[in-house]
Structures are given as C-alpha cells and as structure tokens.
A and B are shown apart, each in its own frame.
Chain A
Amino acid sequence: METLSWHVALPAVGAAFLASLVEVVEAFTIVLAVGTTRGWRPALQGSLAGLVVLALLVATLGPALERVPLHWLQLAIGILLLLFGLRWLRKAILRAANIIPLHDEAAAFAAETAELGQAGSRRGRRVDWIAATAAFKAVVLEGLEVVFIVIAVGAGRGLLLPASVGAVAACGLVLAIGLAVHRPLARVPENALKFVVGILLTAFGVFWTGEGLGIVWPGGDLVILTFIAIFLVAGLLSVPAAREIASEERHDPA
C-alpha cells in the first residue's frame, strides 16, 4: 500500500478545510436567517434534506469515479481545478484590489431575512415550505462546491479521506462557533481564505493536468509546493498592480 506523503496530504487537507470553511459559513448564514425568521423546524428540515442529497451525490459519484482510467480522471479533474481555482484566485485578487466589492455575510443575512419576511407576509401558510426550500437550496448549492473540492483534491491520488477530514472539520468548526454566537460569522476573513484556496486549487490543477497529459514533473509531488509559491507571488503582485490601474486617471491626448 502506498503511504501518503505530508507535502501532498497537507495541501489537500488544507484546501478542503479552508474552501469548506468559506462555503459552510455562507450556507450557515442563510440557514440562520431561515431559523431566526421563520423558525428552526423548516430550517433544520431543509438543511437535512440538503445533506441527504449531497450524501447521495457522493455515494453515486465516488464508485463511478473509480471506473475512470487514472490519467483521464487526473486530466478532467485537473482542468476543472484550474477553472475553479483560477476563478477563485481572480475574484480574490479583484476584491483585494477594491475592483469588486467584498462578500458581506451580515448584508447577506439581512437580505435573506428581509426576503423571507416578505415571502411570509405575502404567502401566509406556505411560508414553511418556502423557508425549508431556502435552507435546502443553501445547503445543496454551497455543499456542491465542498463536494467538488473534496473529490477534486482527493480523487487523483487516494487523498479522499484526508480531504474529507478537512471538510468535516470545517463544518464542525463553523457549526460549533455558529451555535455559540448565534449570529452570521461576518468576521471570517473570507477573501483571504479564498485567495489561499484559489492558490492551492490552481497549484493542484496544474499538477493533475500535467500528470493527465503525461508530463513527468521534476521532483514528483514536491513540485506542487513550487506551484503554490509561483501563484502566491503572482497573486500578491497582481493586487497592487490592478488597484493602481483601476484607480489611475486616463490621460487622453487632447
């Protein structure tokens, strides 16, 4: 049996943990809004139904992925990770450079609460169904990203278990803090987390895509650390450059 090396397992656990943290915080905000506005029963019913759908998805996808030849799996997952990771990294850079607004959990909570309140006053008895559906949608939609990240960072080289541990730890942490403070977790440095996760996923994406194409990387798995360093430097340099371009005045020749 092949033993796991820490330099591969640790980024996988870290990526799954941090990405799940961001997604679970977003889902928690909506479930909390449903619970405090329309009661905890529909919030919990919707959340549980969402978790069942996600579990079914994992149970179906997991065995199906084992039948795909490894290099095709690595190539497909690598490309998806590149698309996913670069999208997160780009967004995090643009948010850090004040080009697009930061995600605000408190504002998301207020918007969801207002929407549910209006739906309640408009539709009377149907509100429980609406509330449960809102919780269900939040859990399924945010959970899908968690499932993809766990499968993507885990399926390529037998890292599904460490990646799942990272995701479950993030869920536990958010639930524990959320139940204790009973408020949306607005102080989570979401953009910094997305920046780090974007770098990790992109580094994994380059690695798996290369492996899937048949590239033998110098240094084997260790090259992932080099990719992390390269994208970290590029990301850090892009923030001030983008901020400067966006804020400077254009001087057209008169």
Chain B
Amino acid sequence: MTLLKALLREIISLFVDDGVLALAVLAVVGLSAWALADMRLGEVAAASVLVGGCLLVLVASVLRAAYSKRASRE
C-alpha cells in the first residue's frame, strides 16, 4: 500500500511540482483553444497565445520563486 501510494505520488509529481505553474499551463492551453475556436482571432492568435503564454508562465514562475527566496532571507 505504501509502495502504491509512493507510485501514485511519483506519477503526480512527474507533472505537478508547483501547483500554480500547472494551473497556469492549463489556462494557457484553454485560452489558446478558445482563440482558435473564435473565428475572429484565428490560428495565428492561438499559436501566439500558446507559445507566448508558456514563455510567460515559465518566466513568471521562476521570478516568483526568486522573490520568495529573497523574502525568506529577510
């Protein structure tokens, strides 16, 4: 049972380390799908949202961790 729990925890932790990062990635994918479904915005907007959103999510998550490290030192 302990082994099964460890396995399950490991599988989840493969994808989710920082919960905010995981939620933000899902939001970016959702936003991109919405942009694609909306004919006025189209494919270029959907692609831009996906690439730019992932970049933004990464940089924001890194900076958030850096600020939180600085706050913990003080």
Report which A residues bind B (CB closer than 8 A).
79-80, 82-84, 86-87, 89-91, 93-94, 97, 99-100, 133, 137, 140-141, 144-145, 148, 202, 205-206, 209-210, 213-217, 227, 230-231, 234-235, 238, 241-243, 245-250
Contact = CB atoms under 8 A, between A and B. Distances in A.
B41 interface: no
Given A214-B36, A215-B46, A87 B11 contact: no
A118 to B, nearest CB: 17
Contacts of B69: 99, 246
Interface string B9-53: 011001111100110011001001100100000010011001100
B36 A215 contact: yes
Interface residues of B, number: 39
Contact of B62 (A93, A137, A141): A93
B66 A210 contact: no
B37 to A, nearest CB: 9
B1 interface: no
A234 B3 contact: no
A55 to B, nearest CB: 16
Given A137-B6, A148-B14, A248-B70, A90 B54 contact: no
Contacts of A91: 17
Contact of B16 (A83, A133, A148, A227): A83
A141 to B, nearest CB: 5
A217 B36 CA distance: 13
B43 A215 contact: yes
A91 B10 CA distance: 16
B15 A87 contact: yes
Contact of A213 (B7, B22, B46, B57): B46
A134 B66 CA distance: 35
